[in-house]
């Protein structure tokens, strides 16, 4: 699915408000891929769980992320001017005598468009529009013109950002100010919600600005990355100068997820494009990126072909590769990544849909550690990324971790026999009386006991493999989709609706198959 270029934001109506993406599998555990974890092969799939525990299934109104943009006037209850063009001309004196317009504060006869905070907000949006136009035209000078030219570090950083972004294939890219997160400071300390006097200037404004973008062949909707812009407006007619452009913290955004920093914020970027993947990483690792991009393309072709479910999945994959554990741990979120993680897939909220896309991050040293494991690692994470857009708001059931990880593990290895590590591990578990025939609980994936986690992953894989062997891949994919969409009250009802036998019968048959197979 390739979204069309969005219409001019000034022509749009205020967008609908959508809830924040969440981890469709519930609170994500500290997932480990243990049979490959010693010493290097540990995976974690974080489809939104890194964002916040507020992103649980069913949190639609409470933990909602607005798709639209709150302007200064909207905070007053007046019409949202974010997409409405420049502020209107001052009202005639006769009109002003009638008092404030609808939704304006009653403490002062000030029209919303005359307020200092509204006026400087519009100027920030004008700077955002200028940046959008400059980027579309490939005009670096215009892109940098609003930046404080005396701050060479700031200018150089924005020049690098411009160059990096021009390397990425975008179907859509624009910058939009979000007035709901703004902070306005006047020179004389007067209230920015009033018209003010000349003594109020210069005015400094800090506001969150979303870089809304759609990576070609990857995203299914516009994905916002949120920055905090700081500008100084010298007087009421000044166009304002950008004096700070930093990434917003997750906690400082409306919805708890900034999506910052992206790969283009961290390095002089090398981008490798293949038919189904866009691979990004530091330019100094260019040769490894080219090699791994070919490997990723092979994994993408396999993953897309292995899916036997319906439409609506990711059409391709955006993958960031880095050998820097510092960068690996902070990409796209301020949440912490465990030291043992080798890769993760993070759902990105969309501005016009629930999940706009997915960003995969992989430690590229893991790809070099074992030639046999590298494609499995990529396939596993791509499976999580593939199905993320199927998640829907308002789902009240939680996908059990055994299904989430078991499905990804099975899909990654569905074209090959059971790995010897799995059969050896589970046979040992059976021989010592540790296999009860029960599926692993969520907490079995969330523990420092690597043996316990290893068993959980392997048993989850075996359950999904058994279902596919018995009922076929198409029915397993349909079952997974139904579970993810919450079409039934719980996982047991979904099992019965998908396969027929009762859950107890299915689990008993699976346990017998495991004892026989391994």
pLDDT in tens, 250-284: 888 877 889 999 999 999 999 999 999 999 999 99
Residues contacting residue 493 through CB under 8 Å, at least 6 positions apart? none
Residue 517 belongs to some domain of the structure: yes
Residue 363 belongs to some domain of the structure: no
- What pLDDT sits at residue 51? 33
Closest CA relative to residue 497, chosen from 487, 509, 505? 487
Exposure string of 58-86, with b = 16+ CB inside 10 Å and e = fewer, is bbbeebbbbbbbbbbbbbbebebbbbbee
Residue 140 belongs to some domain of the structure: yes
**Domain finish residue from 227, 261, 295:** 261
In DSSP terms, 170 is beta-bridged to 215
Closest CA relative to residue 172, chosen from 210, 214, 135? 214
Q: Give the CATH number for residue 110.
A: 3.10.450
Closest CA relative to residue 220, chosen from 339, 391, 381? 391
Q: Report the number of secondary-structure helices (H) and strands (E) in the chain.
A: 15, 11
Q: What is the pLDDT of residues 39-73, one digit of tens each?
A: 223 344 444 333 332 232 222 222 222 222 222 22
CA atoms within 13 A on the CB side of 439: 25
DSSP state of 199: G
Which residues constitute the domain of residue 207?
Answer: 64-261
- What pLDDT sits at residue 340? 66
Residue 220 backbone zone (phi > 0: left; psi -120 to 50: alpha; other: beta): alpha
Residue 498 belongs to some domain of the structure: yes
**Domain finish residue from 261, 277, 312:** 261
- What pLDDT sits at residue 389? 93
Residue 304 belongs to some domain of the structure: no
Q: Residue ranges of the alpha helices (H) in 60-180?
A: 93-96, 116-137, 140-144, 152-165
Residue ranges, the chain, pLDDT below 50: 1-110
**Domain finish residue from 217, 243, 261:** 261
- What pLDDT sits at residue 67? 25
Residue 452 belongs to some domain of the structure: yes
pTM of the model: 0.79
Residues contacting residue 376 through CB under 8 Å, at least 6 positions apart? 36, 412, 413
One domain for residues 71 and 220: yes
Number of domains in the chain: 2
Residue 38 belongs to some domain of the structure: no
Residue 6 belongs to some domain of the structure: no
């Amino acid at each position: 699915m390739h979204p069309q270029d969005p219409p001019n934001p000034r022509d749009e109506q205020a967008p609908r408000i959508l809830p924040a993406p969440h981890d469709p599998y519930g609170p994500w555990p500290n997932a480990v891929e243990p049979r490959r974890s010693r010493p290097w092969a540990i995976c974690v799939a974080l489809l939104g769980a890194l964002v916040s525990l507020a992103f649980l299934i069913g949190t639609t109104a409470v933990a909602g992320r607005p798709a639209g943009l709150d302007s200064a006037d909207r905070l007053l209850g007046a019409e949202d001017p974010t997409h409405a063009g420049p502020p209107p001309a001052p009202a005639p004196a006769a009109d002003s005598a009638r008092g404030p317009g609808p939704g304006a504060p009653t403490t002062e006869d000030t029209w919303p468009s005359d307020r200092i905070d509204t006026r400087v907000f519009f100027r920030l949006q004008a700077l955002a529009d200028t940046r959008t136009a400059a980027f579309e035209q490939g005009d670096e000078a215009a892109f940098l013109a609003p930046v404080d030219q005396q701050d060479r570090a700031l200018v150089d950083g924005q020049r690098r950002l411009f160059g990096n972004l021009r390397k990425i294939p975008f179907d859509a890219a624009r910058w939009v100010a979000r007035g709901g997160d703004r902070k306005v400071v006047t020179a004389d300390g007067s209230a920015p919600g009033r018209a003010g006097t000349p003594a109020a200037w210069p005015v400094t404004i800090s506001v969150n600005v979303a870089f809304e973008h759609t990576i070609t062949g990857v995203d299914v909707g516009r994905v916002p990355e949120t920055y905090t812009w700081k500008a100084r407006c010298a007087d009421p007619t000044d166009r304002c100068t950008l004096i700070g452009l930093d990434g917003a913290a997750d906690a400082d955004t409306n919805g708890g997820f900034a999506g910052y920093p992206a790969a283009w914020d961290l390095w002089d970027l090398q981008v490798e494009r293949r038919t189904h993947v866009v691979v990004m990483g530091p330019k100094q690792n260019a040769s490894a990126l080219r090699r791994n991009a070919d490997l990723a393309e092979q994994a993408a072709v396999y993953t897309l072909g292995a899916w036997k479910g319906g439409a609506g999945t990711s059409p391709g994959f955006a993958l960031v590769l880095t050998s820097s554990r510092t960068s690996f741990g902070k990409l796209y979120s301020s949440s912490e990544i465990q030291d043992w993680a080798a890769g993760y897939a993070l759902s990105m909220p969309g501005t016009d849909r629930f999940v706009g896309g997915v960003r995969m991050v992989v430690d590229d040293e893991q790809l070099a550690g074992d030639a046999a494991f590298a494609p499995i690692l990529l396939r596993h994470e791509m499976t999580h990324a593939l199905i993320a857009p199927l998640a829907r708001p308002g789902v009240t059931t939680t996908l059990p971790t055994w299904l989430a990880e078991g499905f990804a593990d099975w899909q990654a290895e569905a074209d090959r026999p059971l790995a010897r590590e799995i059969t050896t591990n589970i046979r040992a578990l059976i021989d010592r009386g540790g296999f009860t025939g029960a599926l692993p609980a969520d907490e079995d994936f969330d523990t420092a006991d690597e043996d316990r986690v290893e068993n959980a992953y392997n048993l989850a894989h075996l359950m999904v493999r058994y279902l596919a062997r018995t009922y076929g891949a198409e029915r397993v994919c349909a079952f997974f989709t139904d579970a993810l969409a919450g079409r039934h009250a719980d996982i047991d009802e979904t099992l019965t609706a998908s396969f027929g036998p009762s859950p107890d019968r299915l689990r008993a048959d699976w346990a017998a198959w495991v004892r026989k197979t391994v």
